[in-house]
Structure 1
């Protein structure tokens, strides 16, 4: 099986193309389930063709629906980014606070001895600037 160097290269090449094919196949299947405009019967037809004529169906899908696939993927990435930003803002707490609120919090920390006068001045300058 591993008779020569070129046999090894040939095996790696086939493995590479198989992995690329699997990535494309799972991307298409994921896109099928992400697409809400396509009804269930058409999704089932695409899946059946992906099972019985996989390579040709994959190429046809990428050619026929590739642009929509990219748009759906970008829209989902945007929604995920918005959800992440909203979560980070909710966890950060007070990111929409006014400068007066931030200065009051910094003054409370200074009075409690948690921060130094220099740190208070820096926080105050950042809140005002």
Structure 2
């Protein structure tokens, strides 16, 4: 939980460097109190960033599948891109297999 919150602090574009340092110090020095305080103070924006990251991932996968269906690139290039997305954690192995089937058919 603490790592997820620290990760969210550094993804937050609304916080400046000093605020990020202060939140990080608070969470490192008083983990539970700092984490709970951050969730109460920044929970809505934290949820919005997570939701937006999911939507961005969905859009990338959808675009990749549409490109694969369009036939503009070679099958090997599309499979390589799918494998990179899977290895990078952008898509799950199940999504990879589904997209691979679409590319190969």
Provide TM-score, normalisation by structure 1: 0.51
Gaps of 5+ in 2: 72-105
For the aligned residue pairs, the C-alpha RMSD in angstroms reads: 1.2
Q: In structure 2, what is the Cα distance between the partners aligned to 1:27 and 1:35?
A: 12
Match of 1:106 in 2: none
Q: In structure 1, what is the Cα distance between the partners aligned to 2:65 and 2:7?
A: 27
Q: In structure 1, what is the Cα distance between the partners aligned to 2:24 and 2:57?
A: 26
User: Which has the bigger relative contact order, CA under 8 A and spacing at least 6?
Assistant: 2
Q: In structure 1, what is the Cα distance between the partners aligned to 2:21 and 2:68?
A: 41
Matches within 5 A, 1:84-99: 84-94=61-71
The match for 2:3 among 26, 33, 37 is 26
Which has the greater radius of gyration? Answer: 1
Provide TM-score, normalisation by structure 2: 0.62
The match for 2:12 among 35, 42, 58 is 35
Number of residue pairs matched? 71
Gaps of 5+ in 1: 1-23, 95-129
Instruction: Report Cα offsets for 1:82-120 as digits up to 9, x if no partner.
Output: 1111111112225xxxxxxxxxxxxxxxxxxxxxxxxxx
